[in-house]
């Protein structure tokens, strides 16, 4: 239980730090958030828990392919905000786009040989 609490606190601290950094410098905040910190932490936790290289390799490979469908959201949201859409609508549409692309990736990926 303590291990789970440590994982949650460390992961939450990174999110809190990024939001504080972004308040002062949106560009630097974006740089920090673009670092694969969550992925690296997840790999560290997975390795510590399993010591299974095949599981870790599968996780890292699937992460790469599943990051791709999330990227268009980071183009759509700023575009909509600059067009005058409200934050919540822009974010909601960005999330809907991401969900649709995730569904497409999970359907298409295995059909073209990806292990997700």
- Nearest in space to 95 (alpha carbons), one of 73, 75, 80, 74: 73
Position 41 in a domain: no
What's the pLDDT tens digit per position in 4-34? 898 889 888 888 998 999 999 999 988 888 8
CA distance 69 to 8: 26
- Nearest in space to 97 (alpha carbons), one of 67, 56, 69, 116: 69
Name the DSSP letter for residue 112: T
Total structural domains in the chain? 1
Q: Residue 109 corresponds to which tokens in the numbers above?
A: 């990926």
What is the extent of the structural domain holding 72? 53-116
Position 38 in a domain: no
What's the pLDDT tens digit per position in 32-57? 888 888 889 889 999 999 999 999 99
Position 46 in a domain: no
Predicted local confidence at residue 12, as pLDDT:
87
Position 17 in a domain: no
What's the pLDDT tens digit per position in 80-113? 999 999 999 999 999 999 999 999 999 999 999 9
């Amino acid at each position: 239980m303590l291990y789970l609490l440590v994982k949650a606190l460390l992961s939450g601290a990174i999110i809190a730090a990024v939001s504080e950094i972004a308040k002062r410098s949106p560009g630097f905040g974006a740089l920090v958030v673009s670092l694969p910190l969550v992925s690296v932490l997840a790999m560290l936790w997975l390795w510590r828990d399993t010591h299974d290289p095949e599981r870790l390799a599968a996780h890292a490979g699937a992460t790469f392919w599943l990051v791709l469908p999330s990227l268009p959201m980071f183009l759509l949201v700023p575009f909509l905000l600059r067009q005058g859409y409200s934050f919540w609508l822009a974010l909601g549409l960005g999330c809907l786009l991401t969900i649709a692309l995730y569904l497409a990736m999970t359907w298409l990926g295995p059909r073209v040989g990806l292990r997700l």
